Amino acid sequence: MEFDFALNNKIEVPQLRQTSTNIASQAVEAVISKNRKDKLKENLASKEILEAHLQNMKAILDSYEYELMNMQKILSHSKKMKVWDVQHYLSVLEALAYGYKRLYGSEITIPLLTGVIAKSTDLYTLNKYYDLLVGEIARRINLAESKAKIEERKIEELTLKLRYEESSIFKIFKKEKIMRIKKSIASKRRKIDSYMAKAGKYKSILSSTRSMLR
């Protein structure tokens, strides 16, 4: 009987914890939702756009922290804008959120966005931050591709050296040297693959951020 009781507890406790976590999460969401509705009354013209933006940012960042820290400032900034400018302003923020998260990781993204929003009271200023992001992504693409090209040139040099060694009448005595050259070529090809993969990753980030602009 004691064994059965212990076994039952092992099964039930995690379920209770999960239920408690779900209830707490739902309570937090309810409070945030009510707070959002109350604040959005201040800007009815852009209400739907702002709601969609907050949902998009929740999906990108997997956190309500962005909304809690920045909603009031966004509302303040957007009051000065026309509806289509609000739409573009918010889409740039979403592109920045995605780009920052992919480049720098989740932990630094919200602090970066909070700083950007504090300083960007208009589209002109915010677009400068977007241009900086695009510039950083482009720099990383160019760096990865440049490193790949350097390795390609080294492979060309090693290939010529390999042909010379393999064409030598003494190549039977140079097996170890030939093997080292072949290994070096293989290693550099792996480096090229790695650099090109990085370049491809950054190109994908750039493409995604651009596609998010509306």
Q: What is the pLDDT of residues 159-211, one digit of tens each?
A: 999 998 888 877 777 888 999 999 999 999 999 999 999 999 999 999 999 99
Residue 15 lies in a domain: yes
**Residues 143 and 117 both lie in one domain:** no
- Phi, psi dihedral angles at 81 (to 5 degrees): -110, 160
pLDDT-derived band at 8, boundaries 50, 70, 90? very low
pTM: 0.79
Query: 164-193 burial string, b = 16+ CB within 10 Å, else e?
Result: ebeeeeeeeeeeeeeeebeeebeebeebbe
**Residues 181 and 93 both lie in one domain:** no
Q: Which two tokens stand for residue 74?
A: 């966004």
**Residues 47 and 94 both lie in one domain:** yes
Residue 84 lies in a domain: yes
pLDDT-derived band at 127, boundaries 50, 70, 90? very high
Q: Which of 89, 121, 153 is where one domain is finished? A: 121
**Residues 113 and 20 both lie in one domain:** yes
CA 81, distance to chain mean position in Å, is 28
Q: Which two tokens stand for residue 123?
A: 């589209």
- Residue 175: domain span: 135-211
- Phi, psi dihedral angles at 168 (to 5 degrees): -70, 145
Residue 153 lies in a domain: yes
Q: What is the pLDDT of residue 28?
A: 57
- Phi, psi dihedral angles at 175 (to 5 degrees): -60, -45
